[in-house]
Chains A and B, each alone.
Chain A
Amino acid sequence: MVMNSILEISKLSKSYDGKVKVLSDFNYNMECGKICAIVGESGSGKSTLLRLIAGLERPEEGEIKIAQSIVSDNIKIVKPQLRNIGFVFQDFALFPHLTVEQNIAYGIKDNKSKMINNLLKLVKMEGYNKSYPSQLSGGQEQRVALARTLAIEPKLLLLDEPFSSLDIGLRSELRKEIKGIVNTLNTSMIFITHDLSDAIDIADEIIFLRNGKIVQHSPISELSKSTENEEIANIMSELKANMEGVLKLFQK
């Protein structure tokens, strides 16, 4: 057991309708304050893994601990609302009938207005308090979703393909901002991405996932060694990623 670990997963398995195995015998430990990127093809189990950690899905086997407390095993399941986990969905899942301010205030108990203003400042969305989600661009929705998640001061942040709907310029800007926020708040984060440049830019470690199993788990600094792994090469080819390009980016 890692003493300062924020997340410990052992022997986690999940299948849908008892047939399709999405995750099998998954083991992972994460230290506090780290950022982990998960890379894999569609259907490799990435989103299911995040949903299991958040308590939105129920595993068949295995154990999940968050901050040294068991939140899921064969006997008990701690409800999502009691895990203190922040989750940013791929489609952001902003409440369409609430304003930006009301969305952010939703999870806050005390000092609402002060905290809302701080968060809007943090995600650079001041002045949008009264706007509705339908009036925002993709990037702005992303920022509001992040602010709303941070409002509950989560122990662990989970982001499901947070940059996928953004253009290149905005993507790079938001990556930096998110890394800054995570460092400032001294929290931990796991995010899913299809783009290795996202991982290289902000992650401390990377997990390659295939058919529900870890192909490789390494610090980001050792990513260049991954090119020799045939399975990773396959994943990269599925994701249409140019390995040489990635390596250049990495060296830069």
Chain B
Amino acid sequence: MLNKLNRIRRDFNQWSLFTAAIGFFVAIPILTITVYLFDGVGNMWEHIVNYFLLQYIQNSIVLLIGTGILTTLVGTSSAWVISNYNFPLRSVFKWLLFLPMAIPSYIVAYAYVGLLGNGGTLIGCLQTIGFSIQKIELMNIYGLIWVLSFSLFPYVYASSLAMFSSIPRSIRESSDLLGASNWRYLKSVAFPLASPAIISGLFLVFMEVLNDYGAAKYYGINTFTTGIFRTWTMLEDLQSAVYLSALLIVMVVIINGLLKWQRGNKSYAVKGSTDQLKSTDRIDLKGSKRLLVWMIVGIPILFGLLLPLGQLFYWATLTYQKTLNIELLQIAGQSFAIALVTTGIIILTSLALIYFSRWNHLKSLHFFKKIATIGYVIPGAIIGIGVIRSSQSFITFFDDVFSMEIGFIFYSSSVVLIYAYVFRFLAVVFHPLEANSLKVGKNISEASYLLHAGKIKTLFNIELPLLRTALLTSGILVFIDVLKELPLTLILKPYNVQTLAVKAYEYANDERVAEAAIPALMLIFTITISMAFVSYLQKRDQIKRDQIKR
């Protein structure tokens, strides 16, 4: 016992303290929600339970099941076609299938109403060619499933494409030599091998569905997230909003558990040749089969990208004189500035958490890494409530103990908003950076220590230069996420700060949906450029790796 205590004292260092402090500080919102649960329910809770709760649960479950089925169908079929067949414009389709990710789902939702609503653009076109259709009723849960699915399927597409493309050539050839048809290979080999990746993609889709506020609010569907907003802003009962948040966390935990159970131990490591399928191994298609394949990849691009984008451009031509002005440029500037500052802070926090916890020798403190990075699976509305609750406590504490009024610092600056973004998106940078730092290997760092270099010198001269691409890539991804984020920004942005996402939402909410087009297009344009840059960086990295292999 004494030895154990001595060892803990021996292994405890300043990094142990920093690891615990950062982990605790980042995770305050979620810890606050847990603490406030013990305060009992709010005064509107009974009303919510009687009239809304069942609806929230039912709608959320229907949305999850609907989008789950549709995104799996669309995402895996298009990934399969792209990875296994040669057809004209294949590489263009391959890239276009990622792009719906650049359009936030609430903007797709607005665009669809403009297309298919009363007097909608597409309806007008259909009437011109003789259809006597007035409108397609879209503002219901099925419409929302359609919109979210065609907006979010790239998550499943990306993960299954990566898996289908990484199956070694020898596996495919073995299947062929054993006389299996293409369909049999898909059903018995490729799909089971890709299923863990598909499930990972599906989990991200589910998290986005639960996080969605803009689309569900616009279509009038009561979900947990819209419920949390309503309870807090309209019913003015923050405590009941905390309870709803806790229920939503339970739902996330159940989904995570179900998907893990479904995945089981199916983490297949394919041994043997790493020689992957090349373009010459893909099957050339002709005639009706080519048409079928074009449909499989064309439909998601049409519904997830071209139609919404076309509608936005059409609206933009109608409204640009009114909306494209200095004020909008200032809003864009604020948006980018907040996203850039947040990205910088998230990168620094991730690096600090990764390296401080590595330099600390108490393994039990690795728990703090986990709680600090839990934000990505917690919908923005919950984090918003957690941040509001914790900052209220902080302000009260300062007022009571030091007689200092610090509320204005919290509510008139973007400090609270950026802090909430850090908790929400820390995992986007943390996990890829940690994985890459492990890939570099601890021997490299240890070699540096043994050459008399300290931790800081090793970090700046050895570790960070080797993480450069991963830093840039994950930084851009988090920049995109922050630009797109709506619920958190709506809850926490100070009155004098505006972002492109919120501006587009406000136009749509004020029944001026056409005017939302220009801010939405600016957002989409920035995200597309950023995604293209990430793609370029990853390609450059791959070429470098191939050169080293040779």
Spell out A's residues near B (CB within 8 Å).
Answer: 54, 56, 58, 60-61, 74-77, 79-82, 84-87, 89, 91, 93-97, 106-107, 134, 148-149, 151-152
Q: A60-B7, A75-B10, A134-B548 are in contact. Are A95 and B447 (CB under 8 A)?
A: yes
| Known interface pairs A91-B443, A97-B465, A107-B451; 19 further A-B residue pairs with C-beta atoms within 8 A, sorted by A's residue number | A54-B446, A56-B449, A58-B10, A58-B361, A60-B3, A74-B6, A86-B450, A87-B447, A89-B446, A89-B447, A91-B441, A93-B444, A95-B447, A95-B462, A96-B444, A96-B466, A149-B450, A149-B451, A152-B450
Which one, A54, A77, A95, A96, contacts B450 given CB within 8 A?
Answer: A54
Binary interface encoding of chain B residues 420-461 relative to chain A, with 1 for a CB under 8 A from any of its CBs, else 0: 000000000000000000000101101111111110000001
B451 touches A148 (CB 8 A): yes
Q: Which residues of B contact A79 (CB under 8 A)?
A: 449
Spell out B's residues near A (CB within 8 Å).
Answer: 3, 6-7, 9-11, 361, 441, 443-444, 446-454, 461-462, 465-466, 547-548
Please give me the residue from chain A that is nearest to B458 by CB atom. Answer: A81
A81 to B462, CA, bound (A): 15
Give chain B nearest CB distance to A235 CB in angstroms.
26
Which one, A54, A77, A86, A152, contacts B10 given CB within 8 A?
Answer: A77
Which one, B9, B454, B466, contacts A97 given CB within 8 A?
Answer: B466
Which one, A75, A77, A93, contacts B447 given CB within 8 A?
Answer: A93
Give chain B nearest CB distance to A250 CB in angstroms.
33
Q: Which residues of A contact B454 (CB under 8 A)?
A: 81
Q: Which residues of A contact B452 (CB under 8 A)?
A: 81-82, 84, 107, 152
Nearest 7 pairs of A and B residues by beta carbon = A107-B451, A93-B443, A93-B447, A80-B449, A134-B548, A74-B6, A89-B443
A134 to B547, CA, bound (A): 9
B451 touches A152 (CB 8 A): yes
Which one, B3, B444, B449, B465, contacts A74 given CB within 8 A?
Answer: B3
Q: A58-B11, A89-B443 are in contact. Are A81 and B450 (CB under 8 A)?
A: yes
A54 to B448, CA, bound (A): 12
A93 to B10, CA, bound (A): 28
Give me 14 A-to-B residue pairs in the complex whose CB atoms sit less than 8 angstroms apart, sorted by A's number. Answer: A58-B7, A60-B7, A74-B3, A87-B446, A89-B443, A91-B441, A91-B443, A93-B443, A93-B446, A107-B451, A134-B548, A151-B451, A152-B451, A152-B452
B466 touches A80 (CB 8 A): no
Q: Which residues of B contact A93 (CB under 8 A)?
A: 441, 443-444, 446-447
Q: Which residues of B contact A81 (CB under 8 A)?
A: 449-454
Give chain B nearest CB distance to A201 CB in angstroms.
26
Give chain A nearest CB distance to B439 CB in angstroms.
12
Give chain B nearest CB distance to A100 CB in angstroms.
14
Q: A81-B450, A81-B454 are in contact. Are A75 and B441 (CB under 8 A)?
A: no
A239 to B6, CA, bound (A): 39
Q: Which residues of A contact B9 (CB under 8 A)?
A: 75
A148 to B443, CA, bound (A): 14
A152 to B450, CA, bound (A): 9
A130 to B325, CA, bound (A): 55
A159 to B444, CA, bound (A): 15
B446 touches A106 (CB 8 A): no
Give chain B nearest CB distance to A33 CB in angstroms.
21
Please give me the residue from chain A that is nearest to B462 by CB atom. Answer: A95
A56 touches B446 (CB 8 A): yes
Please give me the residue from chain B that is nearest to A77 by CB atom. Answer: B10
Taking each of B9, B452, B453, which has the highest tally of chain A beta carbons within 10 Å of its own beta carbon?
B452
Q: A91-B443, A93-B444, A95-B462 are in contact. Are A74 and B450 (CB under 8 A)?
A: no
Please give me the residue from chain B that is nearest to A145 by CB atom. Answer: B447
A128 to B446, CA, bound (A): 24
Give chain A nearest CB distance to B367 CB in angstroms.
15
Please give me the residue from chain A that is nearest to B442 by CB atom. Answer: A56
B450 touches A80 (CB 8 A): yes
Please give me the residue from chain B that is nearest to A90 by CB atom. Answer: B443
Q: Which residues of A contact B448 (CB under 8 A)?
A: 95, 106
Please give me the residue from chain B that is nearest to A132 by CB atom. Answer: B548
Q: Which residues of B contact A87 (CB under 8 A)?
A: 446-447, 450
Q: A58-B11, A95-B444 are in contact. Are A106 and B453 (CB under 8 A)?
A: yes
Give chain A nearest CB distance to B331 CB in angstroms.
41
Give chain B nearest CB distance to A153 CB in angstroms.
10
Q: Which residues of A contact B446 (CB under 8 A)?
A: 54, 56, 80, 87, 89, 93
Give chain B nearest CB distance to A54 CB in angstroms.
6
Which one, B10, B447, B451, B465, contacts A76 given CB within 8 A?
Answer: B10
Q: Which residues of B contact A134 (CB under 8 A)?
A: 547-548
A25 to B443, CA, bound (A): 26
A80 to B455, CA, bound (A): 11
Q: Which residues of B contact A151 (CB under 8 A)?
A: 451
A116 to B10, CA, bound (A): 38
A85 touches B450 (CB 8 A): yes
A74 to B441, CA, bound (A): 28
Q: Which residues of B contact A107 (CB under 8 A)?
A: 451-453
Please give me the residue from chain A that is nearest to B447 by CB atom. Answer: A93
A107 to B547, CA, bound (A): 29
A75 touches B6 (CB 8 A): yes
Give chain A nearest CB distance to B334 CB in angstroms.
37
Give chain B nearest CB distance to A122 CB in angstroms.
17
Please give me the residue from chain A that is nearest to B444 by CB atom. Answer: A93
B447 touches A61 (CB 8 A): no
A202 to B385, CA, bound (A): 69
Give chain A nearest CB distance to B254 CB in angstroms.
30
A235 to B55, CA, bound (A): 68
Give chain B nearest CB distance to A18 CB in angstroms.
10
A225 to B121, CA, bound (A): 94
A93 to B447, CA, bound (A): 7
Q: Which residues of A contact B443 (CB under 8 A)?
A: 89, 91, 93
Give chain A nearest CB distance to B481 CB in angstroms.
29
Give chain B nearest CB distance to A23 CB in angstroms.
16
A97 to B460, CA, bound (A): 13
Q: Which residues of B contact A106 (CB under 8 A)?
A: 448, 451, 453, 461
Q: Which residues of B contact A56 (CB under 8 A)?
A: 446, 449-450
Taking each of B441, B444, B451, B462, which has the highest tally of chain A beta carbons within 10 Å of its own beta carbon?
B451
Q: Which residues of B contact A61 (CB under 8 A)?
A: 3
